[in-house]
A and B are shown apart, each in its own frame.
Chain A
C-alpha cells in the first residue's frame, strides 16, 4: 500500500510539473503582453507611444527578457521558497492576493462539495430503491435538467426571483462568516446552490445506475433469501458495493466545482480565486495566472490522489494490479 501511494504521489507531482510547463509555454506563445497592459491599460494609442527603452527596461526588471526555460526554472526555485512572485498589473505580492481570495472560494466550494456529494448519493439511492415510482421520476427528471442548466443562467434566475421578487436574499456580494455570520450565510445560499446543482444531479444519476446494477447481483438475491433485514441489505450489500465507482468520480466533481467558481463568482460578485483568475487572464497577468494554475491543479491532483488511495483501500484488487 505504501509503495502504491508513493508511486501515485510521484506521478501526481510529475503531472503538476507538466501542467505548469504547458501553461508557461501557452502564456508566452499566445499574443498579449502583460507589460503593455500594465503601462497603457487597454488604450491602443497610449501603447503605441511607449518608448522602446522604457519597455525594455521594464521587461528586464520583470525578467521577461530571459529565455523561457530560464524563467521557468527561476519560477520553480521561487516557489520552493514559498514565493509566488508579484502581480505585474496590481503590483502586489501574489501570496497575499491568494491568501485573501482562496479561503472564500474554498469555503463556498467545500460547502457545495459536501452538500453535492451527500444529496447526490442520497437522491440516487432513493431513486434506485423506489424505481419507477413518482419520486424516482421526479428526481430523475430534475437531475436531467440539473446536469444541463447553465450555472450563470440559474444564478441570474435566482437573483431575479429570490432577491428581486421575493426579497428573501441579497442579490450578490461577500461577507466573511467571522464578521457577520447571518449576512454571510444569506449571501452564499445562491452561490452554493449554483455550484452544487451539477454535482447533485450528476451524482444522483450515477448512483442510481450503479445501485440498479448492484441490486440485480447474485449476492443481493442471496442476502434476501437468507432473510436479512432490508436495512442491512441496502447499507451493507448494496450501497457499499455501489459506492466504489462513485468514489472515483468525486475528484472530478471537486474539479467541476472549482471550475464553476470562475463563472459563479462573476455572477455573484465574490472576490475569490475564480474572479482573481478571470481578471488576471483579462489583464494578461502571467504571474497570477501561473500561481492560480498551480493552486487549482495542485488541489485537483491532490484530491485525485486521495481518491486513488480511497479506491485502493476500498477495493484491494486495485493495489495489486
Chain B
C-alpha cells in the first residue's frame, strides 16, 4: 500500500475534468499489467485467486477422499495424517469437502457476477444513452433495489424460491444488477459526451450499434473492476446464505454450510467450522486485493465508487 501513490498516473495533476477514460490500447494494457503486478498486495490477491481456481479445477486429484463418502468408524475424528482436517459427524473428510467447496463457491461466484454484469450493463447503457424517461425508470428501479441491504434482498429471493445452486446464482445475480447498472450508466454518460459518438450518429449509425461499438468498449475497463470486486461480495453472499441454511443445499459441500453445521461441534471439533471459514476468507481476500489493484491500475479515480 505504501507504493500506492506512486502508481497514480500523473494525469490527475493540475485541473482534472471528469471525462471517461478511453479504451486502453495494447500498450495501455501492458501499463495496467505492470502497475497491477508491481504491487505486492495485488500480486498476493492474484496468486490466491489462481490457487483456488486450480484447486477447484483439479479437485478430484487434490482431495484424498470423495467429499460425500462417509467413514462410519471415524466420525468427528480430529486432524491426523489420515484426515488432515478431521471428519464431520457422518465421517466425511473435512479437507476434501473444503477442496470441493471451492468449486461450489467459484461456480456460483462467476455465474452470478457475469449474469448481473450482463443485465446491469444493458440497463446502464440504455439509461445513459436514451436518457429521459428510460433513465428515470431504470434509475428508480435501481434505487429501489439498493434501498434494501443486499443480503436481505438475496435472502428474500433465495428463501422464497427454496434454495439450491441455480436459485442462489439467480438471487445473487439479481442482487448485483443495481450496482453494475449504476457503474455502467455513470461511465456511459461521460463517454456519450465525446465527439466520436456524435460523429457516429451523424453518419447514421443505429442506436444499438452506437451503444455496442462506440460507447461500450470505451466504458469497458471499469466494468472489469466492478466484476472483480463483485466476485468477492458474491462469494461472501453465497457463504452467508448457505450459513443461514437457505443457500446451497446439503450434501453438496459449501463453505458457508460447513461453518453452519460445524458450529454445533465448535467446542469439541473447532476445525469443522473454523477451517472452511478460513478457506472462504482467503478467496474473498484474493478477489478484493486483486480488485483494488485493478482499480488503481486502470483508473485511480474510481476509488470512491467501490
**CA A160 to CA B246, docked complex, whole Å:** 25
Scan B111-146; emit 1 where CB is below 8 A from any A CB, else 0.
000000000000000000000000000001101110
**CA A44 to CA B187, docked complex, whole Å:** 51
CB distance A160 to B281 under 8 Å? no
Assuming the contacts A148-B285, A152-B240, A153-B281, asked whether A277 and B155 have C-beta atoms less than 8 A apart, the reply is: yes
Assuming the contacts A137-B2, A140-B1, A160-B270, asked whether A153 and B259 have C-beta atoms less than 8 A apart, the reply is: yes
**CA A144 to CA B44, docked complex, whole Å:** 12
**CA A11 to CA B143, docked complex, whole Å:** 10
Query: Is the CB of A284 closer than 8 A to any CB of chain B?
Result: yes
Assuming the contacts A30-B160, A262-B155, asked whether A148 and B148 have C-beta atoms less than 8 A apart, the reply is: no
The segment from B75-83, B91-99, B272-280 found at the interface with A is B272-280
Set of chain A residues within 8 Å of B54, measured between Cβ atoms: none
The segment from A21-29, A76-84, A176-184, A313-321 found at the interface with B is A21-29
CB distance B288 to A144 under 8 Å? yes
Set of chain B residues within 8 Å of A185, measured between Cβ atoms: none
Set of chain A residues within 8 Å of B274, measured between Cβ atoms: 153, 156-157, 160
Query: Is the CB of A19 closer than 8 A to any CB of chain B?
Result: yes
Set of chain B residues within 8 Å of A132, measured between Cβ atoms: 2
Nearest Cβ in chain B — how far from A24, in angstroms?
11
CB distance B281 to A18 under 8 Å? no
Interface residues of B in 136-174 (CB under 8 A from A): 140-141, 143-145, 147-152, 155-157, 159-162
Closest to A28 in B: B160
Nearest Cβ in chain B — how far from A148, in angstroms?
4
Scan B263-305; emit 1 where CB is below 8 A from any A CB, else 0.
1001100100110011011001100110000000000000110
The segment from A56-64, A221-229, A253-261 found at the interface with B is A253-261
Set of chain A residues within 8 Å of B289, measured between Cβ atoms: 144
Query: Is the CB of A88 closer than 8 A to any CB of chain B?
Result: no
CB distance B273 to A263 under 8 Å? no
CB distance B157 to A144 under 8 Å? no
Query: Is the CB of A278 closer than 8 A to any CB of chain B?
Result: yes
Assuming the contacts A259-B149, A293-B152, asked whether A147 and B288 have C-beta atoms less than 8 A apart, the reply is: yes
A-B contact pairs, 10 of them (CB 8 A): A18-B140, A19-B144, A30-B161, A148-B281, A149-B281, A262-B149, A278-B155, A282-B159, A289-B156, A304-B147
Interface residues of B (CB under 8 A from A): 1-2, 5, 41, 140-141, 143-145, 147-152, 155-157, 159-162, 232, 236, 239-240, 243-246, 256, 259, 263, 266-267, 270, 273-274, 277-278, 280-281, 284-285, 288-289, 303-304
4 shortest A-B CB distances, which residue pairs? A259-B149, A153-B277, A281-B159, A18-B144
